[in-house]
Amino acid sequence: MLERLLAVLKARFGSAPSLAEEPNGVGVLADMADRRVMRRYLDRPVDPALVETLCAVALSAPSKSDLQQADIIIVRDKDQRDKLEALLPDNPWVKAAPVFLVFCANNRRHRLLYAWRGQPFVNDHLDPFFNASVDAGIVMGTFVAAADRVGLGTCPISAIRNRAEEVSGILELPDHVLPVAALGMGWPSFAGVMSPRLGLDVTVHHDRYDESGLREKIAAYDARREAVQPYKSQRLTEKFGQSDSYGWSEDKVRQYSVPERAGFGKFVRGKKFNLD
């Protein structure tokens, strides 16, 4: 089992820590390291009680100051799904997902506690927005891990924030409640593809932040990834042309060469969050 874990880590990161002793839960760690995003599902329903169970497991994640500022909206109503899917033309796979959830950051409940006691909410600055959003992200990550454990496949959908205003209207989100990301889920119809990550020497630091050799390390990652998982097509060739070598860094530069979600700050302020 230790061998499998080390092999998975090597495939993912290009190297693995020199772990001599098999840790408890080594099989779970190997499965977690081997996770893949899943956008193709069997035409098989998921028991609603299992979905709620996964929500409960996810909501057992740590919560900033025990404030419990993450909510999950399970969208089952067909009309509601249709309206949301219509906002996601670049994610057509969503239609085939048996389950559709929206993870929200909710700072409203905290504020209501003050209102109900006639107390001023003195921490009206950036921090509540950040805390609630981080809580929602942690809960979504925990949900993904839990879903994987029972054999379900998931794919987060931050594309809902491209149309945050409309999504908020459809879901009737009040002030101080934001959609962070949606999640499509179902029983996988294939094994998925494991995508290699940046080397651990880029993203894990020791004692202090260290960027030494970053350019070379990213070039090495580009080459490692291109060798096992080349991109099927190149983005925006009309602007950038066709590149002989097309790795992760080239893809990310092209992907974000067009403005995206520039209005999100306005939306968040419109939800009465103070971002100062």
Ligand X SMILES: Cc1cc2nc3c(=O)[nH]c(=O)nc-3n(C[C@H](O)[C@H](O)[C@H](O)COP(=O)(O)O)c2cc1C
State in angstroms the smallest separation of the CB of 85 from ligand X: 13
Question: Rounded to whole angstroms, what are the CA distances from 64 to 38, 72, 258?
Answer: 29, 17, 34
State in angstroms the smallest separation of the CB of 154 from ligand X: 9
Question: Rounded to whole angstroms, what are the CA distances from 247 to 29, 143, 200, 201?
Answer: 28, 30, 18, 19
For residue 40, with 0-12 CB atoms within 10 Å meaning exposed, 13-18 middle and 19 or more buried, which class applies? middle
**Of 193 and 214, CB closest to ligand X:** 193
- End-to-end CA distance of the chain, in Å? 49
State in angstroms the smallest separation of the CB of 37 from ligand X: 3
Here the tokens at position 86 are: 């219509």
Strand 99-106, strand 153-157: pairing: unpaired
**Of 73 and 124, CB closest to ligand X:** 73
Residues binding ligand X (CB under 6 A): 36-37, 91, 155-159, 181, 195
**Of 30 and 181, CB closest to ligand X:** 181
Q: CA-CA distance, 129 to 235, in Å (whole number)?
A: 33
**Of 69 and 91, CB closest to ligand X:** 91
State in angstroms the smallest separation of the CB of 117 from ligand X: 35
For residue 139, with 0-12 CB atoms within 10 Å meaning exposed, 13-18 middle and 19 or more buried, which class applies? buried
State in angstroms the smallest separation of the CB of 240 from ligand X: 20
**Of 110 and 178, CB closest to ligand X:** 178
